[in-house]
Amino acid sequence: MSEYKWCHGPKCHTEKTQDRVRGTKGSKVLRTRKVKEYKYHQDSMYKYFCSLSCYNQFANTHIERIVAIAPRHTPLETPIDDPKKVTHTSDYNPGYTWTSTEIKERGVDTQTE
């Protein structure tokens, strides 16, 4: 299997940069960049695109077909713990009150029953 893939950006071959120019004098062409496969890119967009610009061009060109793969008709929801609000009053100034929230600590439960 090849260590390289060609960039999937629809306009990658039209960008005029020095590394894209190929050919001999009189018959030069602009070529799509090669994308090297790194273990760091195996789960990212850089596995298929040479730059964020190429990724954005691809997404803007094909967004309707991308969304059609897995359409979403209902919103996603994640339940959260609503913080408990506590109202405090001052012993020194009875007219002074403030509200604080108790934030539940998240982490390892070390309490034994």
Res 61: pLDDT? 94
Res 64: pLDDT? 95
Res 80: pLDDT? 79
Res 58: pLDDT? 93
Res 26: pLDDT? 85
Res 46: pLDDT? 83
Look up the pTM and report it. Answer: 0.58
Res 103: pLDDT? 65
The residues pairing with 4 across neighbouring beta strands, listed in sequence order, are 36
Res 37: pLDDT? 81
pLDDT-flagged residues of the chain (< 70): 1, 103-113
DSSP for the chain? --SEEE---TTGGGS--GGGEES-TT--EE-PPEEE--GGGTTSGGGT-SSHHHHHHHHHHHHHHHHHHS---S------PPPEEEEEE-SS-TT-EEEEEEPPP-S------
Res 63: pLDDT? 92
